Amino acid sequence: MKRAGRFQSLRRSLLFRYLLILLAALLFIPVIVPLTVMLYSIFGGLTHEAPPKEYALYSSVDKLEIMWHEEARRLLDQPPKGITQRLRTLSETYHLARIFWVDNEGRTQLVTEPSGPQLLQDGQAARDIPAYWDAAEAISFMKDSMALKPLAIVAFVGDQAEAGEGFMVMQIPEEIRNGKYAPGLDRWYSITMLVFLIVFVVSSWFFFIMIRRRLLRLQTAMVFTGREGLPKAVIPGKPDEIGRLEEAFNTMVTELAASRSRETEEEGLRKRLVADLSHDLRTPLTVIRSHLHVLGKEDLSARGQESLELMDQRIESLGGLIDNLLAYNLLNSGRMTLQLEQKDVLRLLRESAAAWYPLWEKEGYQIEIDLEAAPLYWNVDVSWFRRVLDNLFQNILRHARSGLYVGIFTEIRGGNRVLVISDHGGGLDGSTDSKGAGLGLSIVDLLLKRMELEWSMESTGQGTEITIWKRLPDRKI
Which 3 state secondary structure label does DSSP give 455? strand
Residue 236's identity, in one-letter code, is P
The residue among 6 and 443 whose pLDDT is bigger is 443
| pLDDT above 90 as % of the chain | 10
Mean pLDDT of the region 135-159: 78
Mean pLDDT of the region 180-194: 64
447 contacts 385 by C-beta, under 8 angstroms: yes
192 contacts 32 by C-beta, under 8 angstroms: yes
Considering the domain 337-469 in this protein, what is its CATH number? Answer: 3.30.565.10
The residue among 149 and 394 whose pLDDT is bigger is 394
Question: pLDDT tens-digit profile of 80-134?
Answer: 898 889 989 888 888 888 888 988 888 988 888 887 666 655 545 556 788 888 8
342: left (phi over 0), alpha (psi -120 to 50) or beta: beta
Q: pLDDT value at position 405? A: 93
- Whole-Å CA distances, 235 to 11, 218, 245, 254: 21, 10, 11, 13
The residue among 140 and 329 whose pLDDT is bigger is 140
Q: pLDDT value at position 419? A: 93
Name the CATH topology of 56-178. Beta-Lactamase (3.30.450)
Residue spans per domain, the chain: 2-48+183-218, 56-178, 235-336, 337-469
Domains 235-336 and 337-469 share a fold: no
Query: How far is the C-alpha of 91 from the C-alpha of 74, rounded, in Å?
Result: 16
Q: pLDDT value at position 432? A: 44
Question: pLDDT tens-digit profile of 406-448?
Answer: 999 999 888 889 999 999 888 776 544 444 556 778 878 888 8
Residue 3: pLDDT over 70: no
Mean pLDDT of the region 243-258: 83
Among 27-41, 42-56, 435-449, whose mean pLDDT is lowest?
A: 42-56
- Prior bond of 150 cis (ω within 30°): yes
* Banded model confidence at residue 32, pLDDT cuts 50, 70, 90: low
Bridge partners (DSSP) listed for residue 422:
407, 465
Query: How far is the C-alpha of 243 from the C-alpha of 238, rounded, in Å?
Result: 5
Mean pLDDT of the region 319-334: 65
Mean pLDDT of the region 175-180: 59
| Architecture label for domain 235-336 | Orthogonal Bundle (1.10)
Residue 313: pLDDT over 80: no
The residues, ordered by sequence, that sit 6+ positions from 59 with a Cβ below 8 Å of its Cβ are none
Which 3 state secondary structure label does DSSP give 131? coil
The DSSP-derived string for 276-329 is HHHHHHHHHHHHHHHHHHHHHTS---HHHHHHHHHHHHHHHHHHHHHHHHHHHH
* Banded model confidence at residue 41, pLDDT cuts 50, 70, 90: low
Residue 141: pLDDT over 70: yes
* Banded model confidence at residue 46, pLDDT cuts 50, 70, 90: very low
Q: pLDDT value at position 289? A: 67
Residue 341: pLDDT over 60: yes
Among 232-241, 261-270, 449-458, whose mean pLDDT is lowest?
A: 261-270
| Mean pLDDT rounded to a whole number for the chain | 77
Query: How far is the C-alpha of 329 from the C-alpha of 331, rounded, in Å?
Result: 6
Question: How do strand 366-370 and strand 405-413 relate by DSSP bridges?
Answer: parallel
